[in-house]
Amino acid sequence: MVTVALIFVRTSAISRPAPLHGMKVLDLSRVLAGPWCTMILADLGAEIIKIENPNGGDDTRRWGPPYVGTESAYYLCANRNKKSVAIDISTAEGQEIVRTLAAGADVLVENYKLGGLEKFGLGYKALSALNPRLIYCSISGYGRQSPLAARPGYDYVIQAEGGLMSVTGPADGEPMKVGVAVADLYTGMAAAQAVLAAIVAQQRDGTGQHIDMALFDAQLAMLANVGAAYLATGEDPPRLGNQHPTVVPYQVFATSDGSAVVAVGNDRQFAALCKGPLARPELAADERFQTNAARVRNRKALIPLLAARIAEEPTAFWLEAMRANGTPCGEVRSVGAALTSPEAMARQMVRQVQHPTEGEIGLVASPLKLGATPVVTPAAPPLLGQHTDEVLAALPGHDEASILDLRERGIVA
List, for residues 158-209, the tens digit of each pLDDT value: 999 999 999 999 999 999 999 999 999 999 999 999 999 999 999 999 999 9
Task: Give CA–CA dist 381/278, Å, rounded.
Answer: 49
Q: Tell me the residue type at 218.
A: A
Q: Is the pLDDT of residue 7 over 50?
A: no
In 155-306, the DSSP E strands lie at 209-214, 250-254, 259-263
H helices of 146-289, in order, are 155-161, 182-205, 215-222, 224-233, 267-275, 281-285
Task: Enumerate residues 6+ apart whose C-beta is below 8 A from 293.
Answer: none
199 neighbors 124 (Cβ within 8 angstroms): no
pLDDT at 2: 31
- 96 SS3 class: helix
> What average pLDDT does range 9-33 have in this prediction?
83
Query: Which residues have a catalytic role annotated?
Result: 184
Give the Cβ contact number of residue 58 at 10 Å: 26
pLDDT at 14: 57
Task: Give CA–CA dist 245/249, Å, rounded.
Answer: 10
Strand pairing report for 359-364 and 107-110: unpaired
Q: Is the pLDDT of residue 384 over 70?
A: yes
- 87 SS3 class: strand
List, for residues 83-134, the tens digit of each pLDDT value: 999 999 999 999 999 999 999 999 999 999 999 999 999 999 999 999 999 9
List, for residues 373-382, the tens digit of each pLDDT value: 999 999 999 9
pLDDT at 15: 72
Give the Cβ contact number of residue 354 at 10 Å: 10
Q: Is the pLDDT of residue 10 over 80?
A: no
Give the Cβ contact number of residue 23 at 10 Å: 20
* Cα R_g (the chain), whole angstroms: 26
Q: Is the pLDDT of residue 13 over 50?
A: no
Give the Cβ contact number of residue 177 at 10 Å: 18
Q: Is the pLDDT of residue 12 over 90?
A: no
363: exposed, middle or buried (Cβ count in 10 Å: 0-12, 13-18, 19+): buried
pLDDT at 4: 32
Q: What is the mean pLDDT of the chain?
A: 94
Local confidence band at 11 (pLDDT 50, 70, 90 cut-offs):
very low
List, for residues 392-409, the tens digit of each pLDDT value: 999 999 999 999 999 999
In 128-191, the DSSP E strands lie at 135-140
List, for residues 244-300, the tens digit of each pLDDT value: 999 999 999 999 999 999 999 999 999 999 999 999 999 999 999 999 999 999 999
Nearest to 98 by CA among 46, 60, 43, 136: 136
List, for residues 27-45, the tens digit of each pLDDT value: 999 999 999 999 999 999 9
Buried b (16+ CB within 10 A) or exposed e, 221-237: ebbeebbebeeeeeeeb
Please give the domain boundaries of the chain with CATH numbers for all domains: 17-222+356-408 (3.40.50.10540), 250-332 (3.30.1540.10)
pLDDT at 6: 32
132 neighbors 138 (Cβ within 8 angstroms): no
What is the percentage of the chain residues whose pLDDT exceeds 90? 96
> What average pLDDT does range 304-313 have in this prediction?
97
